[in-house]
Structure formats: structure tokens, C-alpha cells
Amino acid sequence: MADQAITQHAPPVADVPDPDEFEKREDVDETTLLEILGEAVEAIENAGIPYVFIGGLASILLGSPSRTNDIDFFVRPEDAERVLEVLEGRGFATRVKDPSWLMKALKSGVLVDVIFRSTGDIYLDDEMMARATVGEYKRQRLRIVPPEDLLVMKALAHNRDTRYWHDALDLLAYSEMDWNYLLRRARHGPRRILSLLIYAQSDDLTVPFGPIRALWDQVYGS
């Protein structure tokens, strides 16, 4: 599929959205969000496509006091186009936003991000899938990314225009961490994760000294 192409398969979508509509909206009501969430999950699971939820839904289910009005699936690169196909089959309009990491779907004003590579070249792998858990959001069962992986994704994706750093701190505050697993996943950006953990300690969050020492030695030498 070509970049920024809008594709449609049967059943047809009556009105093809303008590309500018494939952006997060603040006026999505909860009833519509839950309806589209259920449709998307059913379509992807019926197709047997491996996925985990990341983004706002995952943060909420992992304990963060946040809200969301969009949907973020994390899938394998080889499955991304298939996800768009099955969503199109449920009446979603779709678009390739960036062929290196992001595709989008849209229905009833609800945006669905289909992400297959996160900052730091993080991909959905077997260990992430094995550690994924199932949570419930408004009676909808969702497979969510491990908190350690979401923390690494948030920390590495943070820049001056996002609040991802604060999201990562919320994960440290509200989720139970497997520190050995976090250290393994921190290989994607050990310096950034080290800085996050040191900052978290300074903010009186409970971070054991061992992971900080291990990352310090990895980044700066013992």
C-alpha cells in the first residue's frame, strides 16, 4: 500500500474521510469508543492476529489514572496490512500514515492506530506476547502489553511535545515491575531508562538500587 493511501474493500465505506480526519479527536463519546473498540478487537481476534494494546487503554488497565479516546494496537510488522484488511471488512476506512511504523483506521470518528514498530526499534516479540495479560475495560476484555515494555516505549518515545515521561512515571507508581525483565527490555535505550529510574527515585517512587546500578554500569562502566 502506498503512503497516505486510503483503501477500501468490501463492505464499502460510504464516505471516505479526508486524510486530516485520521487524527486523534477529543470529542469522542465513551459509548462510541466502546462500540468501535469491541468491533476492532473482534475482527482482529477472529482473524487470529497476535496483538497487544499499548497507549492509553493499556495505561488505564495497568493502574494509571488517565483517560483515552483512541485505540492503539501493537502488532508484528508482517501482520500490519492484514490488520487493515480485516478492519476494512468491518467498515473501517484505513490509511498508511508512515510505512516504517504506523497505519491508521477510522470509524464513527474513533481513531485506531496500528503500530508495528516503536521508538528504539521495539517490535512485538514472543516474550512480550507470553507476558501479556488480559484486563477488562468497561466489560471489554483486552490483551495488554506488559508494564515493563510499556514503560520502555513511553520513556523512549518521550520528547518536549509529549507527556510520555509522566506516563512512564505513573507506571512505576501504579504497576508491579519485574525488574529483571525491565533490565532486559531496557537494552533498547539504557541511558534513557537509567535517567527515568533516577528521576523516579528523586520523586520518592519506589525504585530499587539494583536496576539503577546495573544500568549505570552498562552505560558508564563499573
End-of-domain residue from the set 112, 145, 178: 145
> Which residue among 85, 113, 145 closes a domain?
145
User: Which residues make Cβ contacts (< 8 Å) with residue 79, sequence separation at least 6?
Assistant: 49, 50, 51, 116
222 residues of the chain, pLDDT tens digit each: 444 444 444 444 445 565 557 666 666 788 999 999 999 999 999 999 999 999 888 988 998 877 777 899 999 999 999 999 999 999 999 999 999 999 999 999 899 999 999 999 999 999 999 999 999 998 899 999 999 999 999 999 999 888 899 999 999 999 999 999 999 999 999 999 999 999 999 999 999 999 999 999 999 986
14 and 99 in a single domain? The answer is yes
Residue among 108, 88, 93 at smallest CA distance from 36: 108
Residue 124, CA atoms < 13 Å, CB-side half-sphere: 24
Question: Is residue 139 domain-shared with residue 156, that is, in the same domain?
Answer: no
**Contact at 8 Å (CB) between 101 and 115?**
yes
Number of compact structural domains in the chain:
2
Domain span at 60: 1-145
Amino acid at position 219, single letter: V
On whether the CB atoms of residues 181 and 202 are closer than 8 A, the answer is no
Claim to verify: residue 161 and residue 219 sit in the same structural domain: yes
Residue 77 has φ and ψ, to the nearest 5°, of -55, -40
Cell of 178: 519485574
Could you tell me the pTM of the whole model? 0.86
